[in-house]
Structure 1
Amino acid sequence: MQRYINTALDSGWLWLLARLCLMVIFISSGLAKLLDVEGGMTEMRAAGLRPDWLFTLASAAVLLIGAALILLNRWVWLGAGMLSVFLILTIAIVHTFWTMSAPRMQISLYFALEHISVIGGLWVTAIASRLRQRLADVCEES
């Protein structure tokens, strides 16, 4: 049984599937901002970001470019960094639970904690990508 698990964990298909699962939220959010620009601009106005059209397009670009880098397994560290900064800024600008009262505070806190967990997942992905590349390089040299 362990041999099958190890084979799956070493496989390229599971590596791609794991990255895809992590990127679903970023891809869907980025596409939503492009397909419903007015909705995206409403989000930006609600967060106090002006000009709303610029922040909507910039957000969509960061989300989709960062996700693409990770999915393509190219410059994963850069994609993970872009998306991590996006999430940190989202906490600082939108999910400011420390300025709110209950029950809004609790919901914002949960979103902030979720974002922090996803940031950890992004960093783990960047680390795993680097280690997989180093392993592939060593195997090629042998």
Structure 2
Amino acid sequence: MTYPQTPRFVGRILDWPPVGFVARLALVGAYLLGGIVKLSDWPAAVAEQAHFGMSPPAMWAALTIAIELIGPLLILSGRLVWLGAGMLGVFTLLAAITANAFWSMPGGVARFMATNAFFEHTGLIGGFVLVAMITRRDRA
């Protein structure tokens, strides 16, 4: 079976340089914003970590802020993209396991929502792998 080529107008859109940057910004935007918000409200950032049982919460808040700011900046800058993607991918997996442990919940709405959130986070991890792969391929 043969498949048609990418339509010309789609190829032009995908080849337009700003599209790649905007796509990377869409992928990392929530992390970047999260880091900025946490940095601007340190007590809330520490309280969030305490809420999830992370100890000591101030250390985890600082680490979270660093990852949420450095990871996106690496991806957006195009430098050490593999590192930024890896940082955010591992962080996202650990956060999903910590905050969305649907397997330990009884059935119902809360479990349904945690399950959806967990798998949405795995989709983000896939996006980080893809951005690292594309960057590596484009530089080869």
Q: Which among 110, 123, 135 is matched to residue 117 of structure 1?
A: 123
| TM-score (structure 2 length as normaliser) | 0.89
Matched, 1:11 2:39: no
> SS at 1:49's partner residue?
coil
Task: Quote the Cα distance in structure 2 between the aligned partners of 1:97 and 1:3.
Answer: 44
Aligned to 2:72: 67
Please state if 1:52 is matched with 2:57: yes
Structure 1 residue runs without a partner (length 5+): 135-142
Secondary structure at the aligned position of 1:7 is classed as helix
Q: CA deviation at 1:5?
A: 2.7
| Residue matched to 2:103 | 98
Amino acid across the alignment from 1:45: A
Q: State the number of aligned residues.
A: 134
Q: Matched residues in 2 for 1:127 and 1:76: separation?
A: 9
What code does the residue aligned with 1:112 have? F
**Which 10-residue stretch deviates more, 77-86 or 32-41?**
32-41
Mean Cα deviation higher: 52-61 or 125-134: 125-134
1:115 positional shift: 0.3
The AA in structure 1 aligned to 2:128 is L
| Aligned residue in 2 for 1:140 | none
Deviation of 1:26 (Å): 0.8
- Please name the residue that 2:3 is paired with: none
Cα deviation 1:49-70 (Å, max 9, x = unaligned):
1111111110010111010000
Counterparts of 1:115 and 1:18 in 2: how far apart (Å)?
Answer: 17
Tell me the secondary structure at the aligned position of residue 55 of structure 2: coil
Distance 2:115 2:8 in 1: 41
**Following the alignment from structure 1 to structure 2, what is the Cα–Cα distance between the partners of residues 13 and 93?**
35
How many Å separate the matches in 2 of 1:5 and 1:88? Answer: 32
Give me the TM-score of the superposition, normalised by structure 1: 0.87
Deviation at 1:29, TM superposition (A): 1.1
Amino acid across the alignment from 1:16: F
Task: Give CA-to-partner distance per residue, 1:25-64, whole Å, 9 cap, x none.
Answer: 1111111111111111121111101111111110010111
